[in-house]
Amino acid sequence: MKFKSIFPNSSTRYFQMLTQFIYIVTATNFWFVEDVKLPSNFLKVYNLVSKFLEVIIITFVFTGFGASYTQKNLTDKQNTDVFMKSTSSLCIYTMYGCIIYKREEIKQLLFLLMVTLKEIYNDKIEKQMMMKIKIYMIGLMFFGCAAPMMSYGLEGAFHAVTSNATFTTVIPIWPDLEDRRLIAGFTRILIYIVWLLLIAHVMAIYSLIISISICLGYQYVNLCEYFLNLHNIFDGEGSQEDWETRYEEAVKVGIKMHVIILRCVNQLQSSCKVVYGGQVLLNVCVMLLLLIQMMVGLIWKAIYYSSFAYPLFSYISVVRYLTIHLLYLNIIFRTVHQTFP
């Protein structure tokens, strides 16, 4: 498929780099130009390796539910963690799969945003848009991904060092939590790495969706600014007839751009409705489960021990979960509100 030349600006450069990063993480090209600017030898090897990694991630997602049956003597908190992490992993991987399935629609949407809608361009609005995208990406990548995943690793390492427990971030179907053999410890580290790969896949897709949503929302701002500046046509040189002709043509261009923006909105809704709806539902359900878990723990301690000495790490775990899911809900609602006014 051939496209006309791309209008070079900060947003096109950003989306080119973002889609290239997503390709490195997921081996899926979302850019509307088929050629990936990476060495051919690397692409051949990576395409094979990525399929193997995908199989490992799928195995990790579906075997997570079996931990409740293979692991003996799990506490109530551990059983809840198994259920929440397994359900969350399955849900987010399903949403990831939906976007991979809709990648051709995403490519068309990026083409409309990066090429067709550049017929009207406002540098000031472009800078505002890129600033907002960068702020959201920093929040998503650090507070929604890097910080929590590092905290899981540090928490597991802390327990392993201070309480002679095994390094456990995700309770797996195997090895057993009390298995202290070298191969068991090595497997737990590999499971943590696979979990990181799963989250990296999902975060890469989320970053693309959120960036597109913000970009599309600013197209309304750009179009409004375009129509507000149409009166400048009458400040130039020319006759009344020339002014009216140029004004009429400019209005036609604006209407055409508005139609394209509405088409982009419909296409974004069609491509990402499962992700938006699923993420909101997942966040709300997990937060309810966490609040119930915390309340039950507090009541249990108050009744049987006459104190509210709920373990510190249990509080940290609940607060961490709540913070992550509140962050996702905030990002989703803000981007949806601006994109679908």
The arithmetic mean of pLDDT across residues 318-336, rounded, is 63
pLDDT higher than threshold 90 for residue 242: no
pLDDT of residue 279: 84
Residue with the two structure tokens 């108050």: 302
Q: Which pair of structure tokens corresponds to residue 341? A: 């006014």
**Sign of CA pseudo-dihedral 319, 324, 327, 328:** negative
pLDDT higher than threshold 50 for residue 24: yes
User: Mean pLDDT in the chain?
Assistant: 84
Which pLDDT band holds residue 265 (cuts at 50, 70, 90)? very high
pLDDT of residue 2: 38
Comparing 177 with 292, which gets the higher pLDDT?
Answer: 177
Q: How far apart are CA 16 and CA 167, in angstroms?
A: 39
Which pLDDT band holds residue 340 (cuts at 50, 70, 90)? low
- Least confident interval from 112-116, 270-274, 307-311: 307-311
pLDDT tens digits, one per residue of 269-304 = 999 988 988 888 887 887 777 777 667 666 555 555
pLDDT of residue 17: 93
- Least confident interval from 26-40, 163-177, 234-248, 299-313: 299-313
Q: Are 168 and 63 in contact (CB under 8 A)?
A: no
The arithmetic mean of pLDDT across residues 83-111, rounded, is 93
For residue 156, the SS3 value is helix
pLDDT of residue 325: 58
pLDDT of residue 145: 87
Report CA-CA distances (Å) from 179 to 165, 168, 186, 247: 10, 11, 11, 77
Report CA-CA distances (Å) from 26 to 33, 54, 95, 166, 214: 17, 9, 14, 31, 22
pLDDT tens digits, one per residue of 53-62 = 999 999 999 9
The arithmetic mean of pLDDT across residues 263-272, rounded, is 92
Which pLDDT band holds residue 335 (cuts at 50, 70, 90)? low
pTM summary value:
0.87
Which pLDDT band holds residue 309 (cuts at 50, 70, 90)? very low
